[in-house]
């Protein structure tokens, strides 16, 4: 396609943003840092990432879940890169699965609050898709200085073991390898798995270590005798396999995975994969980095789908949302995307791009229902400012139409996948399948912004609140003071809208290069295809 100056500026800026994300990921991948990695390897152990790489099939795609978890958090505790755990979806002996590996270079693999949340997210993905999950255990247990935020609540540490039990009843394969410390309550995770391996001399598992045993009952015993590989493989029978080293344990897991029977499939349509006919890399130049500028979402879609073929549904109606059928890496998908172009209707009315109107909400509802009827997975491409406001919209029933869209989407039984391309504001985030609506995977491009509303609008609202509070205290608000307040509020708010902030808290599963989008969707659907749809589609009373 012909490229202009604006295209080149967009391309340069987005490539810089992608490069910045990759540099941050490189730092995250170091875990606790090079010195701790050296100390870890001196014990004869592989790092968490080396273990995952050794286990997974070579030359097959893989995606990492929650790499940014804990980013720029817990500074007072020395940080928690990656949440202290590595979670990757990949293939072992050709079988798609999840691998969860404690990173013992980060606080000895201790569990921070975000570690628990990330582990629960991994289990959620395994349960939704009924895919095997493999735990590579090397953890000192709960991070005691923050025990009140990780121990007692419903979504805390104990939920992990509840999920172990539920997955077992669902017939989901769970395999654990004890490759380092495994203490206290954490000892239940590997033993509640279907099969447990332990590495000789480096792996140990017990409810209480030797120091605590001495303090509690006065017994003198070393950790190896208390809970090492020989003890649990030959005396207690707690573990099933004794491995000589990390590679031996990982090869044993591969052997086990190689024998698992085929699952019953959901039956989603797949044909021979094809690349987009239009150059995927042109996305960099087509997508304005300035979130206020217009662009053609269909041009983005054509660079994401096979052969650039997109069969649009209700093309001439409800134009601020684009809906239609396509294939991604061979998989049939239904796409619901926010159109960022200004629209002139037949009546002469102008509709703002990225805003959901009554007609576009109605169209999206109908299309989502169609995809559920046809058993077609849904892909949401978000760049949304919210629903249209004002008397005309309110009198036209925007709340009712918006409720229909949310209801139809929330009750979908086909798997949903969400890509946050740009803005993801307010109720628009909800209607377009934000994290609260159970997308199987949700990722952001570096251009994403997640918030209740845009930074400029929010800052002005917050400024009004703060100035009113200061005036009530008798303080004088000069233009200089007001500007200083606005700048401070804007900077703070905009930091919270950045994709790194969202990914750190696992509001999204990853920040990805736009060119990785097809891989995420394809692997997501392949995983979802392992779980047959068992619930009939019912959009709810609001659709009546």
pLDDT tens series, the chain, 544 aa:
667 899 999 999 999 999 999 999 999 999 999 999 999 999 999 999 999 999 999 999 999 999 999 999 999 999 999 999 999 999 999 999 999 999 999 999 999 999 999 999 999 999 999 999 999 999 988 888 898 888 888 888 889 999 999 999 999 999 999 999 888 767 888 999 999 999 999 999 998 888 888 888 999 998 899 999 999 999 999 999 999 999 999 999 999 999 999 999 999 999 999 999 999 999 999 999 887 889 999 999 999 999 999 999 999 999 999 999 999 999 999 999 999 988 877 777 778 878 999 999 999 999 999 999 999 999 999 999 888 777 777 767 788 888 999 999 999 999 999 999 999 998 999 999 999 999 999 999 999 999 876 666 666 777 678 777 877 878 777 887 777 777 787 777 788 899 999 999 999 999 999 999 999 999 999 999 999 999 999 888 765 4
Burial 156-187 (b: 16+ CB within 10 A, else e): bbbbbbebbeebeeeebbbbbbbbbbbbbebb
Q: How many CB atoms lie within 10 A of CB 336?
A: 27
CB distance 98 to 257 below 8 Å: no
Residues 6+ apart with CB under 8 A from 198: 177, 178, 204, 205, 228, 229, 232, 233, 239, 241, 242, 243, 249
Distance CA 260, CA 250 (A): 16
Distance CA 465, CA 463 (A): 5
pLDDT for res 378: 98
What's phi and psi for 309, nearest 5 deg? -100, 120
> Which CA distances in Å does 519 have to 331, 356, 461, 509, 524?
11, 28, 40, 14, 8
Express each pLDDT in 127-169 by its tens digit: 999 999 999 999 988 888 898 888 888 888 889 999 999 999 9
- Read off the tokens for 354: 């990225």
Give me the half-sphere count of Cα atoms (radius 13 Å) on the Cβ side of residue 107: 20
Q: 436: which DSSP letter?
A: G
Give the CA radius of gyration of the chain: 25
3-state DSSP assignment of residue 348: coil
Distance CA 68, CA 23 (A): 12
pLDDT for res 544: 44
- Read off the tokens for 324: 């239609």
Q: How many whole angstroms from its chain centre is CA 533?
A: 22
Computed from CA positions of residues 322, 328, 332, 333, in that sequence, does the dihedral angle turn out positive or negative?
negative
> Which CA distances in Å does 226 have to 136, 192, 215, 391, 424?
21, 20, 15, 72, 52
Whether the model clears a pTM of 0.75, i.e. scores above it, the answer is yes
CB distance 369 to 539 below 8 Å: yes
């Amino acid at each position: 396609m012909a490229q202009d100056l604006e295209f080149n500026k967009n391309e340069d800026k987005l490539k810089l943003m992608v490069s910045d994300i990759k540099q941050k990921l490189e730092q995250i991948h170091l875990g606790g840092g090079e010195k701790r990695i050296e100390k870890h390897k001196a014990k004869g152990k592989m790092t968490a990432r080396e273990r995952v790489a050794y286990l997974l099939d070579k030359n097959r795609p893989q995606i990492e879940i929650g790499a940014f978890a804990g980013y720029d958090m817990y500074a007072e505790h020395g940080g928690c890169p990656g949440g202290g755990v590595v979670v990757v979806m990949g293939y072992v002996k050709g079988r798609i699965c999840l691998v969860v590996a404690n990173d013992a270079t980060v606080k000895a693999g201790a569990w921070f609050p975000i570690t628990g949340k990330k582990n629960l997210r991994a289990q959620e993905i395994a349960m939704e898709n009924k895919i095997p999950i493999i735990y590579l255990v090397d953890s000192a247990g709960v991070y005691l200085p923050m025990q009140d935020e990780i121990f007692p609540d419903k979504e805390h540490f104990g939920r992990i073991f509840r999920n172990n039990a539920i997955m077992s009843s669902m017939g989901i394969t769970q395999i654990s390898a004890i490759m380092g410390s495994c203490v206290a309550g954490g000892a239940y995770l590997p033993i509640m798995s279907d099969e447990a391996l332990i590495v000789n001399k480096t792996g140990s598992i017990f409810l209480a270590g030797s120091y605590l045993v001495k303090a509690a009952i006065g017994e003198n015993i070393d950790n190896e005798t208390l809970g090492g590989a020989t003890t649990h493989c030959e005396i207690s029978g707690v573990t099933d396999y004794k491995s000589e080293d990390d590679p031996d344990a990982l090869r044993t897991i591969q052997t086990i995975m190689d024998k698992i029977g085929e699952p019953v499939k959901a039956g989603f349509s797949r044909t021979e994969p094809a690349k987009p006919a239009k150059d995927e890399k042109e996305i960099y130049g087509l997508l304005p980095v300035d979130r206020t500028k217009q662009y053609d979402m269909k041009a983005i879609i054509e660079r994401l789908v096979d052969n650039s073929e997109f069969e649009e549904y209700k093309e001439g109606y409800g134009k601020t949302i684009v809906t239609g059928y396509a294939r991604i890496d061979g998989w049939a998908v239904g796409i619901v995307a926010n159109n960022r172009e200004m629209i002139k209707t037949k009546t002469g009315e102008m509709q703002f791009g990225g805003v959901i109107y009554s007609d576009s909400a109605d169209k999206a509802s109908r299309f989502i229902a169609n995809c559920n009827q046809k058993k077609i997975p849904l892909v949401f491409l978000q760049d949304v400012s919210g629903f249209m406001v004002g008397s005309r919209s309110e009198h036209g029933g925007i709340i009712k139409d918006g409720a229909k869209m949310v209801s139809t989407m929330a009750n979908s039984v086909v798997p949903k996948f969400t890509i946050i391309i740009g803005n993801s504001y307010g109720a628009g985030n909800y209607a377009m399948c934000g994290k609260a609506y159970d997308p199987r995977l949700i990722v952001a491009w570096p251009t994403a912004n997640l918030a209740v509303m845009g930074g400029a609008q929010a800052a002005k609202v917050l400024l009004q609140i703060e100035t009113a509070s200061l005036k009530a205290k008798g303080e004088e608000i000069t233009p200089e003071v007001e500007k200083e307040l606005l700048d401070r509020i804007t900077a703070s708010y905009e930091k919270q809208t950045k994709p790194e902030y969202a990914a750190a808290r696992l509001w999204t599963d990853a920040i990805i290069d736009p060119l990785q989008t097809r891989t995420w969707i394809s692997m997501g659907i392949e995983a979802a295809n392992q779980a047959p749809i068992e619930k009939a589609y019912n959009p709810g009373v609001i659709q009546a």
